Amino acid sequence: MLVAVPLLLIPVVLYNVVVLFSLGDGARTGAADLMLREPVFSIPMASGAGWDVGTGDLILFVSLICLFFELLKSTSSQKVAIINHALSMVLFVVCLVQFLLLRGFATSTFFLVTVMVMLDVLAGFIVTIVAARRDLDLGLGQQQ
C-alpha cells in the first residue's frame, strides 16, 4: 500500500519543514524565500565562477527526481494506481491551498513544486484514460 503514496509528498514535506523553521518566532513574510535562496554549498565551475546551490534548488532537484518516478508509476495499470491518482489529486489541492493562502508558500520554488504535482495528476489521469481506451478498443475488436 506504500506504493500508492505519491513520491512528490517528499519535496512538499521538505518545503513545509523549511517554512516552519523560517517562519518560527513571527518572522517576516519573505523569510522563507530568503532561506530558500541562501547558498548551502558552492561548486567551482570550469569558467572560474562558483555555482551557489540553495535549499530551494535542492528541493526542486528532489522534486524532479520524484516526478520522474511518479511518471513511471503512472504507466502502471494496477489497481493501486487509482489510489495513487486520488492521493496525488489531494496533494495538489493541499499544495494549491498552501500556495494561495499561507504565508511563506508564495515563492517560485513552491510554485514549481505545485506545478510538478499538477503534472503528476494530469499524467496519471491521461495515461489511465488512454490505457482504458486501448483496452476498450481491443475488447471490441475481438467480438467481431
Encode the chain (144 residues) as per-residue pLDDT tens digits.
678 899 999 999 999 999 888 776 555 657 788 888 899 999 999 999 999 999 999 999 999 999 999 988 887 767 788 888 899 999 999 999 999 999 889 999 999 999 999 999 999 888 877 776 665 565 555 555
Are the beta carbons of 15 and 117 closer than 8 angstroms? no
To the nearest 5 percent, what fractions of the chain are helix, strand and coil? 75, 10, 20
Residue 130 is predicted with a pLDDT of 79
Residue 21 is predicted with a pLDDT of 83
| Residue that is written with C-alpha cell 475488447 in the block | 139
Are the beta carbons of 16 and 109 closer than 8 angstroms? no
Residue 117 is predicted with a pLDDT of 97
Are the beta carbons of 12 and 113 closer than 8 angstroms? yes
The three cell numbers of residue 45 are 565551475
Residue 136 is predicted with a pLDDT of 59
**Which residue from 47, 51, 48 is spatially nearest to 61, judged by alpha carbons?**
51
Model confidence, pTM: 0.85
